[in-house]
Amino acid sequence: MAEPLVETRSLVVDYAARRSILGPTNGSTRVLRGVDIRIAEGEIVGIVGESGSGKSTLGRTLLGLVPATEGEVRFAGEPIGAQPELTLRRQMQMIFQDPMSSLNPRHTIRTILTRPILLHGVAADQAAADSAAAAVLERVGLPLSVLARFPHELSGGQRQRIGIARAVMLRPRFVLADEIVSGQDVSTQARVLVLLKELCTEIGMSLAFISHDLSVIRALCHRVYVLNGGVVVEEGACETVFANPQHAYTRALIDAIPLPVIGGKWLAA
């Protein structure tokens, strides 16, 4: 495997106990227990597990949104805590599961898309930013008219495409997608997966794709990490893991969800 772009080393994450009206509860909750993962430049990696397995916490820790209790996250060979925040935010982006809650309802789509590239100096002025936003909108299959709209004026599928557009505006090196096709119909899922796969190739970005849907992981990803109870119980190339799972938990996940036979044209545009 090539030198990783994103890597965790013995990653441990604890959540402090919450206080209640009866006072604090004892102790803390350990969510990740010594997780080691590696994501190469340009690679699409799946992170899969049941609810409560720690996959979303792992994703947010990769981006520095959740602090590590022990161990470390490294990006481009350096600990993320040692790198300038502004640099990390330009190179590491996230696509959220619920685009409605992640898009500022007070801003137009034009502001949502152009403000980041103006802040980071990717666009010299508003005219250049508008031109870049128009190009990205065309790429994700949305009309220019959405620039003047607010998030609540768009459909759920359109908002999800805006979330993808916002994430790639800065041409990041790494994007995390957290359950972004959960609850969508099969045709919408396929269009989103095709778009993500094409964008990874065009931009050369790495993608970590979190999902509980093994069919999606199998169709999209090069490799997969299977989490159970905050521990990686299995990892490897998708075709190998799905064809011959080694861990009982992985076998149970596969047996619980019927997996279609993935042909070469399943995600064809």
What are 167-224's pLDDT values in tens digits? 999 999 999 999 988 777 778 888 889 999 999 999 999 999 999 888 889 889 999 9
State yes or no: pLDDT of 97 exceeds 60.
yes
Structure token pair of residue 171? 């041409």
Rounded (5°) CA angle 115-63-95: 55
Within 131-222, strands assigned E span 174-178, 206-211
Q: What is the pLDDT of residue 269?
A: 46
pLDDT tens per residue across span 99-133: 788 899 999 999 999 999 999 999 999 999 999 99
**All structural domains of the chain with their residue ranges:** 99-172
Residue 95: alpha-carbon gap to chain centroid: 6
pLDDT, mean over the chain? 90
Instruction: Scan for tokens 């006072």, then name that residue.
Output: 23
Structure token pair of residue 230? 């905050």
**Range of lowest pLDDT (80-94, 178-192, 228-242):** 178-192
Average pLDDT over residues 79-103: 90
Q: What is the pLDDT of residue 259?
A: 55
Give the β-pairing of 231-237 and 223-228: antiparallel
Q: What is the pLDDT of residue 262?
A: 52
Average pLDDT over residues 4-21: 88
The secondary element (H helix, E strand) that includes residue 79 is strand 78-79
Rounded (5°) CA angle 67-69-75: 55
Give the β-pairing of 38-40 and 4-16: antiparallel
Label residue 138 by pLDDT band (50, 70, 90).
very high
Give the β-pairing of 70-75 and 44-48: unpaired
Q: What is the pLDDT of residue 131?
A: 96
* Torsion-angle region of 141 (φ positive above 0: left; ψ -120 to 50: alpha; else: beta): left
Q: What is the pLDDT of residue 215?
A: 84
State yes or no: pLDDT of 265 exceeds 80.
no
Q: What is the pLDDT of residue 19?
A: 67
Calpha distance 186→181 (Å, rounded) = 9
Residue 267 amino acid letter: L
Calpha distance 38→82 (Å, rounded) = 19
Q: What is the pLDDT of residue 2?
A: 63
Q: What is the pLDDT of residue 214?
A: 86
Calpha distance 73→8 (Å, rounded) = 4
Label residue 135 by pLDDT band (50, 70, 90).
very high
Structure token pair of residue 20? 């209640």
Instruction: Compute the 3-state secondary structure of the chain and give helix, strand, coil in percent, each to the nearest 5.
Output: 40, 25, 35
Calpha distance 49→67 (Å, rounded) = 21
Q: What is the pLDDT of residue 164?
A: 94
State yes or no: pLDDT of 258 exceeds 90.
no
**By percentage, how much of the chain surpasses pLDDT 70?**
91
Q: What is the pLDDT of residue 168?
A: 94
